[in-house]
Amino acid sequence: MKLISVNAGLPREVTWNGKKVTTSIWKAPVNGPVRVSRLNVAGDRQSDLAAHGGSDKAVYVYPAEHYAFWRRELATVELPPGAFGENFTTEGLSEEFRIGDRLRIGTAEFAITQPRMPCYKLAIRFGRADIVKRFLKSGRTGFYLAVVREGEVEAGDPIHLDTRPGESLTVADITRLYAADSENQEMLMLATRLSGLPESWRDYFRKRLWEPDK
């Protein structure tokens, strides 16, 4: 497994449906070592801190393997590294990795926290409103990392899986639970117990548990 590209971008103002919108979804590859802090990658900044950023969403990862699928789906669109707004374009990682998995890249350490839930800014990036539903339906969501230990990373660095939690679900499991598996009470209960999953997600799944018969 390895880090293909480190991508960063600053907020920019664009027009969408006749309104001015500030977004940081446009990312470009960064050369050389890049510092990763608790909240973000050097040279990168989130625009809407209510929906993006924070310690549980410090770094967004998107597998390079998904790019072939999207090149087929979106034939007329150029897809350079960072096209999906990801900070790390990677090789060898996928949504089959688990919530809480610890990864080591360069001198930094990370923990997988949650899938990416697409918002309308993905539609802005690609200029098409249907991309949000297609992105979620595809299961190719990528995922967020928390920074366990700050450090430096660089394109080409190997990615090491250091530790795995004893009880967990995959990123794909969490996405399926969110999107469809409302009847799977066993998985919902497990999701509420995952310490590596942010509290907002656990609370969401708690609210979907059935009340026991009285």
> How confident is the model over 126-142, as pLDDT tens digits?
888 899 999 999 999 99
User: Sorting pLDDT into bands at 50, 70 and 90, what band is 65?
Assistant: very high
User: Sorting pLDDT into bands at 50, 70 and 90, what band is 214?
Assistant: very low
With a CB cutoff of 8 Å and minimum separation 6, the contacts of 160 are 1, 103, 104, 105
Q: What is the pTM of this model?
A: 0.92
Give the residue, 135 or 180, on which the prediction is more confident.
Answer: 135
Indicate if the pLDDT at residue 51 is higher than 70: no
CA distance linking residue 214 with residue 204, whole number of Å: 23
Q: What is the pLDDT of residue 9?
A: 92
* Inter-residue contact 95 to 171 (CB < 8 Å): yes
Domain enclosing residue 107, as ranges: 2-166
Q: What is the pLDDT of residue 192?
A: 94
Q: Is residue 171 domain-resident?
A: no
What's the total number of domains in the chain?
Answer: 1
Strands (DSSP E) found in 54-200: 59-63, 88-91, 102-105, 108-115, 143-149, 151-153, 159-163
Q: Is residue 64 domain-resident?
A: yes
Q: Is residue 114 domain-resident?
A: yes
Q: What is the CATH classification number for the domain harbouring 120? A: 2.40.33.20
Q: Is residue 96 domain-resident?
A: yes
Q: What is the pLDDT of residue 213?
A: 52
* Inter-residue contact 174 to 156 (CB < 8 Å): no
Q: Is residue 180 domain-resident?
A: no
CA distance linking residue 152 with residue 13, whole number of Å: 29
Q: What is the pLDDT of residue 15?
A: 85
Amino acid at site 54? G
| Average pLDDT for 195-208 | 93
Q: What is the pLDDT of residue 49?
A: 54
